[in-house]
Every structure is written in C-alpha cells, then in structure tokens.
Chain A
Amino acid sequence: MRPVIVGIVTALVLCAAIFLGSRGLHNFDSALAPYAIASVFLAFGIAYRYMVWISSPGARRLFRKGWGAALSWQNLRRTPTALPRMIATYLGFQKFLGARSRSRWAAHQLIFWGCLLAAAITFPLTWGWFTFTANTGAGPQYTMNIWGFGVVKFDALSVLGWLLFHGLDLAAVLVIAGATYFLIRRMRDREASTGQRFGYDLVPLLALIIISVTGLLLTFSSVFLHGGGYEFLAVLHMAAVVLTLLYLPFGKFFHIAQRPAAVGMQLFKYTGHGEIRQCRNCGEPIDTTAYVDNLRATMRDLKLDFDSLAEVCPRCKRLRRGQAYRTTVKPGF
C-alpha cells in the first residue's frame, strides 16, 4: 500500500510542478500532452518501484546507512569533498566501468550523456517550462524563457542557437553509437550474452535505438523532405518514447534510480572511522566493522541465522568446511 501512496503523491507533485511551471498551463503545448502524461506515469512508476525495492531488508538497511552517511554533519565537516567527488566519479563519469573495459565505459558514457542531454531538453519542453519567443516578427532573434521568465536572448543562426535547436539530434547520435556498441556486444560476446533475456537485456537497447532513429528522421523529414512523412514519424516517435517511459521503472533502466545506492554504500564504508573487522580465524581483513554489523543485522532480519559466519573470511569458510568433511565424513582422505 505504501508504495502506491508514495507513487501517487510523487505523481501529484509533478502535476503541480507542471501546472505552476507552465504558468497555469498557459505555456503548455497540447501537442506534447502525451509525453507530459507519460512523464506523470513515469514519476508514479519510479516512486512505486523504489519503495518496493527498499522494502527488502538488505536495501532498507543500506538505504538508511547510506543516507545517514551522506547527510551527517560530522562527515560533511571531516570530508566535505567526498560526496560531490563520488557523485561526479561514480554517477557522472562512471569511472569504475573503465575497470571492466574501456570500450564499455565509452559506450555507456555516450548513452548516459546522450540521454541526459535529451531529457534536459525534452522534459521541460513537454511540461511547458521552456518556451521560445521571437523578438522581432520572424526571428532570427529569439528569447528562451524558463517558467515564463526570459533567460537568454540568442540568434538562431549562432552556435548557441544551433545547439538549442539541434541538441536532440546530437543526443540521438550519441545514444545510437553507444547502444549499437552494446547491441553488437550482446550478439558477439559471451560475457554479455550468457543468460541474457530479451525483455530485460535487449529491449532497452532496441528502445533507445528506435527512439533516436525516429527522432533523427523527424529532423531529416523537416530539413530535406519539406515535412514529408512527418506526421507518421511523429506518431511513431511518440509511441516509442511513451512506451519506454512506462517500461523504465520495471526493467534494466531502473538501474538509473538504483545506482546512487553505490555512493551511499561507499560513503557508509568510507566514513566507518577506519575500523576493520578481521577474520576470526586467520585475521585477514573482511570489511569495515560497521558494514559487517549491518550485514549481520540484515541476515538476522532474513532469518539466516548463520550470521556469525560473516566474521569468517571466505577462504577460511571453505577450509573449515573441507576440514570438517575430512575429519567427520570421510576421515583422512
């Protein structure tokens, strides 16, 4: 029940923000209404799915510890740069992906920045938050307004003007490059294709490619075909985007909402006062003391009552089990 309530509240907050930001729907573009409605469902879906996710013991405990570490005054005073730095390296530049492979890092960066750019342009447009007004009859001087306030004046023929009007084309090119790389990898590389599922692994890549290609074709149609096929393409593009937004909270794309947990987790370990739990058997470091205690509590929540074993390192667990087999099952093999 709680996930549903939180989902509805989130969706209502977004509705209110759309209403206010578009000056009481004055700036709302009704041609873009399906996108805006889909984004409201998206807000519901993400909040709902997030609440379901953090209701499992492991995620709930980490959620509390992670936010506790992120919002603690003490941590902020001691290491003021830790949080912003981790947000940049983990979430923005995904440095850790480079340790998996450089090309996977590069392809993911293309998808990430492409989608971020596209979202930064399209969401405010569909919500009626951004509008453009011509300063002189038919241009080329325009003013860009945010929430109805004039923010930048620009010339449509300048570099800034080109970027503002073609940002989505640029985003599409980035996303197509990254998603195509991942798609080829999924067909050729056993590391990616082992156990892959169509709905979970391939649909997200196909969705990104379909959205980007139909988006580019819209530009192609208006620039080279005098709008030939525009209406059909616009419907196709809209259908692809709406379906993807609705699917987003329930498939692989949900990692966008989940990944920040990595920052919370690392911050929680990092701020553990340097106290390390060592293996009871051999003294090898296992993890930070606070982290092992948190894991043991998670295990007890789940009725996994062998939680004291979490204080024995993996190798000693294997050695002790092997020794027990050797002494009591098949003596002295």
Chain B
Amino acid sequence: MMGRTIVIDPGRCIGCQACVSACRECDSHRGKSMIHLDYLDQGGSVASSPTVCMHCEDPVAPCAQVCPAEAILVTPDGVVHDADKSRCIGCGNCVNACPMGVPKIDLEAKLQFKCNLCYDRTSYGLAPMCATVCPTGSIFYGTLEELRAERPGVEVASTFDFDGSIISTGVAMVVPKGRPDQPLPGGAGEHARVTGSPQPAGHLEPSADNVLGEPL
C-alpha cells in the first residue's frame, strides 16, 4: 500500500451517497462520479460499499497493461491515472480487465474515466473529495499511523485473492482485529455468491447498439 492512501471500511458505510455527490462536484470531471456505491444485498439488508480505484501495485495496474493505446499512466507515487484524453480510443479493455470493476467508459466521447485518487487535490496534500465528505469514516485518507491514531489497533489488508491470482493494491481495506494475515477474497471462484440485485438503471438488451455506442 502507498504511504498516504485511502482506507475503506465497508462496515461503516451507510449508503448515504455523499461520496458520490462530492466526486461528481469535482472540477476536474464535472458532473460525473468516479466512485461507485453499491448496495450489496438489495431487499435483504442495508449493506453498502464504496469502490474507488485500488491503484493496483503488483501486478501493476492491469488496466494500464491491457490498454492498446498506452493511455493509462502510472506515476512513481503509485497513482494509476485516468486515461490520457488524446490517446484513449474508448475500447473498453481497461473496463473489463480491471478485477475490481472500476473504470467506466463514455462510448460517445470515446473516453475512459476512472478514479485518479483526486490527483488535483492529493498532489497538493489535500484529501480526496470522497474521504473529505464521508460522514462515518468509511473512506479514510492518510497514513496507517494517522488511521491508528484515530482508531487504535485497527488492522488493514491490501492484497486480494481472485481465485488464486493475488493482487496487491495501493488502497487498503479495514479488516477485523486478529484476522490472520491473508488476502481478502476478490469475489471470484468459490467465494462468489450470486446476487440477484436488479441493475439500478434497468436491464440493457444484449444488442450490438448497447456496446458499440453509435450504430454507425
């Protein structure tokens, strides 16, 4: 994990959408939210969980590795940036290779967009928008020491297991005290539990028009 980074505790998330609204307000991508907030078990419980880019370290940024246009830059500070606007061709490789489900694509503008750890803020020492507004501390920004000063003894993990493939990330997640030092489940393979939650925006027909952008 990085020095100053985001630490997520889904157990604290109350699903209030403050992070989504704050992200959408950001000057560098006005009107679009880069953070995802998912209701994990709609109709069953109120559990919800925010997802930012995890800034994968090893293997480094799978999204950038599969990009055919060399559009995703990883800076030495470990931040995996959003796509370069003159290079990204909107192919969707990064969207579907990302194991965390982070990048999105604007098919009309042929442009990917994703969380860049609020580079406009964090490169000046400010906390990201989402961490600034989160009322419960579900999204924390700082070093591990700063986190422990607020929550004594808290433990975090920053590796994930995707059915045998281990990915270590720059962003960390809170784990219960005393949990053995092992990767978090990525939700692939045996741990996967099929959820029946309906798509919030309604089901899309599996027609070419829905994945090609314009029918040409």
Residues of A with Cβ closer than 8 Å to B?
53, 56-59, 61-63, 82, 85-86, 96-97, 99-100, 190-191, 193-195, 252, 255, 258-259, 261-262, 265-266, 269-270, 272, 274, 276, 278, 281-288, 291-292, 295, 298-299, 302-310, 312-330, 332-333
Contact A320 B207 (CB under 8 A): no
Contact B199 A326 (CB under 8 A): no
Could you say which of A99, A314, A316, A328 contacts B98, with CB atoms under 8 Å apart?
A314
Could you say which of B11, B110, B162 contacts A262, with CB atoms under 8 Å apart?
B110
Give chain B interface residues in 187-216, CB to chain A under 8 Å: 187-188, 191-195, 197, 199, 203-208, 210-212, 216
27 contacts between A and B (CB under 8 A): A53-B70, A57-B66, A63-B68, A86-B216, A99-B108, A100-B111, A191-B29, A269-B211, A276-B210, A283-B206, A285-B204, A285-B206, A298-B93, A299-B97, A304-B59, A306-B188, A309-B99, A309-B188, A314-B102, A314-B104, A316-B195, A319-B195, A320-B187, A325-B10, A327-B191, A329-B175, A329-B184
In the assembled complex, the Cα of A270 lies from the Cα of B163 at a distance in Å of 33
Contact A262 B89 (CB under 8 A): yes
- From known contacts A58-B65, A191-B30, A327-B191, infer whether A315 and B211 are also in contact, taking CB-CB under 8 Å: no
Q: Which chain B residues lie closer than 8 Å to A288 at the CB level? A: 208, 211-212
Quick check: is B7 within 8 A (CB to CB) of the other chain? Answer: no
Contact B119 A195 (CB under 8 A): yes
Could you say which of A194, A259, A274, A309 contacts B120, with CB atoms under 8 Å apart?
A194
Q: Which chain A residues lie closer than 8 Å to B28 at the CB level? A: 190-191, 194
Judged by DSSP, the binding face of B is loop
Q: Which residue of A lies closest to B194 (CB)?
A: A281
Q: How far is the CB of B36 from chain A (nearest CB, A)?
A: 6
Contact A285 B65 (CB under 8 A): no
Q: Which chain A residues lie closer than 8 Å to B125 at the CB level? A: none
Residues of B with Cβ closer than 8 Å to A?
10-11, 26-30, 36, 38, 40-41, 45, 47, 49, 51, 59, 62, 65-70, 73, 75, 81, 85-87, 89-93, 95-104, 106, 108-111, 116, 119-120, 123, 160, 162-165, 167, 173, 175-176, 179, 184-188, 191-195, 197, 199, 203-208, 210-212, 216
Q: Which chain A residues lie closer than 8 Å to B68 at the CB level? A: 56, 58-59, 61-63, 261, 265
**In the complex, number of A-B residue pairs with CB atoms less than 8 Å apart:** 237
- From known contacts A82-B216, A195-B81, A333-B47, infer whether A298 and B40 are also in contact, taking CB-CB under 8 Å: no
Contact B99 A317 (CB under 8 A): yes
Q: Which chain A residues lie closer than 8 Å to B211 at the CB level? A: 269, 276, 285-288
